[in-house]
Amino acid sequence: MVKSRCGSLKSRSKKLYAAFLEDVELVARHSLDEESHHALLELFFLKWEAVETSLEVKTALDSALNYFRKNWVNDSSVCHWYQGSSPLQAMTNNGLERHNAVIKSESYCNGQKHALNDLYHKVRIFYFCHECSHFRR
C-alpha cells in the first residue's frame, strides 16, 4: 500500500522512490522488537528528511513521508507491520509460491491453463488425496 500512495515521488524520481521503498522494507525486516522498530524509524525519518533535492522532488518526498508517518507509523490499528511484531510469522509468501510451482509443474498442470473445474480437481488432489500422494514432490 505504501507503493500506491507514493506515485508522485515515483513520477519525479524513480531512483529515490526505489531507495525509499527499500528502506521501508529494511525497517520492516530488521525491527526485531518494538524498541528496535522505534530506533530504526527514527533513523529512517532523519535520513529521508535530510535529503537535498529539487523543490519538486522534495515536495513529493515530504508528501510520501507524511503519508507513511500518518498511516503506517502513527495509526495504532496498522502500526505492527514489522517483523518483530509477529516473530513466528513469515515475511514472504514463499510457501504459497512453492505450492503454486508444484501445481504448475509437469506432474500436475504442466504450465497449461485449465478450466476452473479441472483446476479445482487438481488442487484438491494435491492437498487432500492421500492415495495420490505419489504425485507430490
In whole angstroms, how large is the CA radius of gyration of the chain? Answer: 21
> How many domains does the structure of the chain reveal?
2
Contact 17, 10 (CB under 8 A): yes
Q: Are 59 and 118 part of one and the same domain?
A: no
Q: Which residue would you say has higher pLDDT here, 20 or 129?
A: 20
List pLDDT tens digits, range 89-134: 766 666 677 777 777 777 777 778 878 888 788 777 777 765 555 5
Indicate whether this model's pTM tops 0.75: no
Rounded to the nearest 10°, the torsion over CA 135, 101, 28, 46 is: 170
Q: Are 78 and 11 part of one and the same domain?
A: yes
pLDDT above 80 (res 82): yes
Domain that holds residue 125: 94-135
